[in-house]
Amino acid sequence: MITDRQFRDKIGGMVTGRVLFDEPMSMHTSMGVGGRADALIIPDTVGELKKLVSFFLREEVPFLPVGNCTNLIVRDGGYRGVLISLEALRRLEIRDENLPPESTLKEEYAGSVCVYAQAGVSLSGIVELSIRKSLAGMEFCAGIPGSVGGGLKMNAGAWGRELKDVVESVSILDAGAKIREIERKDLPFEYRNLDLPEGTIITGADFHLVKGSREEIQGKISDIIAARREKHPLAYRSAGSVFKNPPDCPAGKMIEETGLKGLRVGDAEISGKHGNFIVNIGNAKAEDVISLIDTVQKRILGERRIFLETELKIIGEKL
Ligand SMILES: Cc1cc2nc3c(=O)[nH]c(=O)nc-3n(C[C@H](O)[C@H](O)[C@H](O)COP(=O)(O)OP(=O)(O)OC[C@H]3O[C@@H](n4cnc5c(N)ncnc54)[C@H](O)[C@@H]3O)c2cc1C
């Protein structure tokens, strides 16, 4: 059994990136709530990540990858194990521009441009690149504050599009600490989930975008940002949509119709602007948010016989 001291020394020697012990996750989650992680490690390279994961597997240290923590709540008792942030993996590049006509790509990809992004690149970074280079396809991601890794794991989407529609292949560090590339046809995407085996870490992905008109792309993005400002409670900290939408009615509408908008526990509130957002109006605790989630689930189940599954991820331990 490795001691705390040995653990710290070993980790320190393995990464040039930041290693934060006993780190308050309220400083990192978009909701601004949550307890401490035993460690939050930010490897600088995929090589460092690989070394870390091999070590954690060998020593049976629990670990979990995180991106921008915009869909994540850590309970107030904190996370016992290591959270690995991929925020330093930020390579973003255009791989193949002007693909030749004899390219092996199918007709549907004519005019395609392949963009490679590492897991820590923000979705907004790809959106910005797509404006600069007049590439259409990523507009729906405008205003989604996640990273490529978290976005793919969540199959993030909006306005009828999801990341699965633009991804070509995903590179992963698999549960045995081996790097692999998986093509889109073999990626088990679902609504707001990519069903990868536990312990899998997404390290990057290729996206296929299409050459388009810069004005049109910019116009679409401006419309999306304006619609988000109008509909979403962006003045407060949140984790975006709390619940997945059931097939027949958006969760936010159901919550509104059940009269739950404005309900508060501590400083957590079901937004009066959008029923599917819980906002932190001051110093909310994770348990305040979870208590509101519980209340909503019970009320909707009681009144509509529908169980609202959470979209956001809850990890860690109760106080
Ligand atoms: C204001 C606001 C608006 C939002 N709007 C939308 C929206 O329109 N559509 C939408 O889909 N979402 C939306 N979200 C939610 C969130 O931004 C997305 O789900 C985003 O994709 C999460 O990315 P992240 O990097 O923050 O992931 P995190 O919150 O850090 O993690 C989410 C999950 O992914 C896993 N994960 C993270 N990185 C990796 C990795 N590299 N490999 C494997 N697993 C990983 C984590 O373990 C966790 O289970 C919104 C959030 C906010 C705050």
Q: Which of 41, 74, 153 to mutate to test the pocket of ligand 1 (most atoms within 8 A of CB)?
A: 153
Element at 65 (helix H, strand E): strand 63-66
Ligand 1 centre to CA of 191 (Å) is: 13
With CA atoms as reference, report the closest residue to 312 among 98, 40, 69.
69
Q: Is the beta carbon of 33 within 6 A of some atom in ligand 1?
A: no
Surface-to-core class of residue 291, CB atoms within 10 Å of its CB (0-12 exposed, 13-18 middle, 19+ buried): middle
Q: Give phi and psi for 255, each to the nearest 5.
A: -65, -40
Q: Is the beta carbon of 66 within 6 A of some atom in ligand 1?
A: yes
pLDDT at 292: 98
pLDDT at 103: 45
- Our measurement of the distance from residue 97's CA atom to the centroid of its chain's CA atoms, rounded to an integer in Å, reads 28
pLDDT at 98: 52
Is 289's pLDDT higher than 90?
yes
Domains of the chain: 4-85 (3.30.43.10), 92-230 (3.30.465.10), 232-315 (3.90.78.10)
192 among known catalytic residues: yes
122 among known catalytic residues: no
Is 109's pLDDT higher than 70?
no
97 among known catalytic residues: no
pLDDT in tens, 226-279: 999 999 999 999 999 999 999 989 999 999 999 999 999 999 999 999 999 999
Catalytic member of 26, 241, 269, 271: 241
Q: Is the beta carbon of 74 within 6 A of some atom in ligand 1?
A: no
Inter-residue contact 70 to 150 (CB < 8 Å): yes
pLDDT in tens, 198-222: 999 999 999 999 999 999 999 999 9
pLDDT at 107: 46
